[in-house]
Amino acid sequence: MQLKSGVAFALVSISALASPASLPEAQVSSSGFPSDIQAGILNIQNYINGVINDIVQSSPSLPLDYSSGGRSLAFLERSILPNGCKQNLPKPAKTAKQAISYLQSTQLTLSQLSLDAINSNLAKGKKDVCLAVNTYGGAASYVQSVIDSQ
């Protein structure tokens, strides 16, 4: 798909937003989680807050901010699961309310991932990072509809 500004924007798995070759290496702790996971989670949650704000304010920054959040989430995903997550997207968001709901669910899942890391529960962390990636991806349809209407 093509943005009116000429920037390509594909609705694909968040994992595909950043190929493993383009991602920096994450330092992994003895628990199997990246050593800076807490800062990474907080950073992604801040991106998501910005995306929610963009939706509420009908900001033209929405596509770029959504993509930036997706890239950060992809980096987190690949640092925990080098082969990525199985794509299991929820029903596509068709309204702003649905998109915001998916984004808020993503934030809650990231909070759970933070607890998983604190508790060194890598198995649960892998499930939670995949849930976060897929839930975030559920908002992509709404983001694309905003792009198409610009």
> Cα–Cα distance between 116 and 10 in angstroms, integer?
31
Which tokens is 139 given? 């908002």
Structure confidence at residue 100 (pLDDT): 98
Compute CA distances 84 → 11, 117, 130, 133, whole Å.
Answer: 17, 18, 8, 10
- Please tell me the predicted confidence (pLDDT) of residue 117: 95
Cα(87)–Cα(11) distance, integer angstroms: 12
Long-range contacts of 80-85 (CB under 8 A, 24+ apart): 80/32, 80/33, 80/34, 80/122, 80/125, 80/126, 80/129, 81/126, 81/129, 81/130, 82/20, 84/13, 84/15, 85/13, 85/15, 85/129, 85/130, 85/133, 85/134
The pLDDT score that the predictor gives to residue 7 is: 29
DSSP 48-74: HHHHHHHHHTT-TTHHHHHHHHHHHHH
Joined together, the tokens standing for residue 132 give 């976060």
Per-residue pLDDT of the chain in tens (150 residues, 90 and over written 9): 333 332 233 333 444 444 444 444 556 555 678 888 999 999 999 999 999 999 999 999 999 999 999 999 999 999 999 999 999 999 999 999 999 999 999 999 999 999 999 999 999 999 999 999 999 999 999 999 999 988
**The pLDDT value given to residue 98:** 98
Count Cα atoms within 13 angstroms, Cβ side, for 88. Answer: 9
Q: What is the pTM of this model?
A: 0.81
Separation of first and last alpha carbons in the chain: 14
- Confidence at residue 25, expressed as pLDDT on a 0 to 100 scale: 52
pLDDT of residue 26: 52
